[in-house]
Amino acid sequence: MPRSVRLVPLALACVLALAPTACTGSGTGVRGTSGSSGVGDPYFPQAGNGGYDVSHYALTLAYDSRALTGTATITARATADLSSFHLDFKGMTVQSLTVGGRNARWSRRGQELTVRPSSVLRKGGTFETTVRYSGAPGAITDPDGSEEGWLRTADGAVALGEPVGSMAWFPGDDHPSDKATYDIAITVPKGLQAVSNGELRAETTNTAGTRTTYRWRTAQPMATYLATVAIGHYDITRTTTSDGLPVYTAVDPEETAASRKALARLPEIMEWEEYNFGPYPFSSTGAIVDRRGDAGYALETQNRPFFPGAPDTVLLVHELAHQWYGDSVTPRTWRDMWLNEGFATYAEWLWDEDHDGDTAQETFDALYDGTYFDDPSESEAVWAFPPARPSSAAHISDSPVYERGAMVLHRIRQTVGDSRFYDIVQGWAAAHRHGNADTAEFTAYVERMAPGKDLRGIWRDWLYGDGKPAHA
């Protein structure tokens, strides 16, 4: 049964003193609507919410003995007159909830936290919602069987969000189409460390010497699925790239030796990727390396990708390429996942090509001919569905999204030539920097950048077509 708490009667007053537009009164005649639960994503229809855009999350977290206490203050702008709205939040216990400093009614059903402010939130007005909560955050199992959310590790925990795992540890608008800036403060028992996105602004220990608070700030917009917190014992390294970009790496001591060689190349990789993809879109970089087995996959968490075990150089190239394609240019829906993974996979091919490995053409040919993988079933899986039309939510991370997505980019390169191709990939990253984009926008962009080139066959046969194209 849904839980509902009536805290105060409805008040005809301004919701926020700092946002006078977000108020109503008996003489206004304003009747708000309910913001939708879900934004209609084709694979995760309940993800995200309608009626508002979040601009900032301020998360204050305290971790102890695998339990979490949190306060989330969410700053948002109403896109309609709202009598109620939704937040995505699964598990944990809500202790109190206010909107604009006033107690609000709320109820819960599944992942939906429905909020009823004390007065209508006016369209265009800014409002703050503060949720205090506690409990034992858990993992969320994806349709493909992988786990995300709040994952326990050998000596702490790591929060991973793709595609809908952030709602396991903080309430929000959990869809990639709504990006925001973040302040995340994590208090942990003395001796543990807490690593997150952005830059570390402060590290303080209480007077008793028992707990340490780490304050992180992400000044560039970030999708909820890219937010992370990693708690444990880490070897921390702070350096800079040749052009002064801060590099912050956190490595589990058991993985330090095995990670050293690949992480030493991180500045070199960043320089190579900036040369190929354009200016780096964020204010710091780095990596988080936990023990092998702490999670089942690497993830392009913003600023510093997460790795379960020591990464090799090619995996580091892949996840850092996501900082341009996926983190800065974020898919508008989960159907557009190939715009993340196709680009990052093609970055691997380009790295090999530039570092005495196979050329991108050789990799493309091996995939087309079925000789790239040792297992014939893996070769067949490349053609299971078109990269722009995954068959279901369980398959948005399958081979067609990665390998065939990269093949689409190579076909564009074959058609337009190297010079125009690099104009396209750099221009795409620049045009949608810190924003969202979908496949239709990408194909239209490529066509504008390559006038006179016939790209229709690529879209028809490689991007949207079923099965293996007749000709490479």
Q: What tens digit of pLDDT does each residue of 404-441 get?
A: 999 999 999 999 999 999 999 999 999 999 999 999 99
Position 14 scores a pLDDT of: 37
Q: Which residue has the higher pLDDT, 48 or 16?
A: 48
Q: What is the pLDDT of residues 305-329, one digit of tens each?
A: 999 999 999 999 999 999 999 999 9
Q: From residue 29, give the alpha-carbon distance in Å to each of 14, 32, 125, 214.
A: 15, 10, 17, 47
Spatial strand order in the sheet of 235-240: 235-240, 246-251, 285-290, 306-308
User: What tens digit of pLDDT does each residue of 32-76 get?
Assistant: 999 999 999 999 999 999 999 999 999 999 999 879 999 999 999
Give the pLDDT score at 11.
Answer: 35
pLDDT (0 to 100) of residue 2: 36
Whole-angstrom distance, CA of residue 289 vs CA of residue 353: 27
Per-residue model confidence (pLDDT) at position 66: 78
Residues 6 or more apart whose Cβ sits within 8 Å of residue 248 = 195, 199, 200, 236, 237, 238, 284, 285, 286, 304
